[in-house]
Amino acid sequence: MGVYERQQKEKKILEAAFQMFGQKGFHATKVDDVAKKAKISKGLVYFYFKSKEDLYMAITRKGIDELRDLFNKSFGKPKDKTGLEVMTDLVEAYFNFVKEKKVYHDALLYFLSVLNQYHLDKEKVNPLILESQYFNKLLLSHHDLAKSGIKAISQGIKDGSMRPDLQAESTFYTLWSMMIGYCEISGSIGLEPADIRINSESWKNGFLKLFYEILKGSDNPFKSPLVQGKLF
């Protein structure tokens, strides 16, 4: 089998896995499901990927690579944007990614949970994940996402578009946790009882206002548009 043919087979398996993980989730999906979707044998799937966990880590790496590229594109041409503008575009890119590529985002969150367990007690991590070549590659490259954000904040401090008292690393990780949390619980907003006065629009406005206040200070450029309905 030639290199090109191998690459096409692998691509076909990953596309099928992406669809099945999206439909059934990681835990409910079986390698049989992926093989049937890709219209190939189960044995051929195992030829390319050692286990379902290995396949999921491959999906995770693909998703993180795509998100990293989006983060990098937020910078535009050299010296073309202020650090604050870069962070604005970076956040927008992340929100669009979560909306359009939920499978990748779910995989990213799963990887982060595994990474936390790996740091606390490596022995409790699923050995099939530890054996995955893609997991081990992710251990070396997942910091690239943070590096882009830290670079943007460092640029903003330097060009004066952000507060000079910020510490770039801790600021980015704080904002990164806010972004993840926002996306994770955004679906629950429409289900809140009437005595909790919030809707998705007002919450997003409040989130972005706080986001900019952290970066810029209380004198920030973000102005919330008028929203009909319940407000904070």
Are the CB atoms for 190 and 198 separated by under 8 Å?
no
Q: Is residue 24 domain-shared with residue 67, that is, in the same domain?
A: no
Q: Quick one: CA torsion of 37, 38, 41, 44, rounded to 10 degrees?
A: -140
pTM here?
0.85
- On whether both 127 and 146 belong to a single domain, the answer is yes
The verdict on residue 66 lying in a domain is yes
Contact by Cβ (8 Å): 63, 50: no
Question: What are the pLDDT tens digits along the chain (232 aa)?
Answer: 677 888 899 999 999 999 999 999 999 999 999 999 999 999 999 999 999 999 999 999 999 999 999 999 999 876 789 999 999 999 999 999 999 999 999 999 999 999 999 999 999 999 999 999 999 999 999 899 999 999 999 999 999 999 999 999 999 999 999 999 988 887 676 666 666 666 777 778 888 899 999 999 865 444 544 433 332 2
115 & 157 share domain = yes
Q: DSSP class of residue 142? A: T
Are residue 87 and residue 160 in the same domain, yes or no?
Answer: yes
Strand (E) or helix (H) holding 51: none
Same domain, 156 and 90: yes
Number of domains into which the chain is organized = 2
Q: Is residue 171 part of a domain?
A: yes
Clarify whether residues 138 and 111 are in a common domain: yes
Q: How many degrees, rounded to 5, is the angle at CA 138 between CA 137 and CA 144?
A: 115
87 within some domain: yes
List the domain range (segments joined by +) for residue 167. 50-182
Q: Residues 111, 19: one domain?
A: no
CATH code, domain carrying 86: 1.10.357.10
CA angle 149, 153, 154 (to 5 degrees): 115
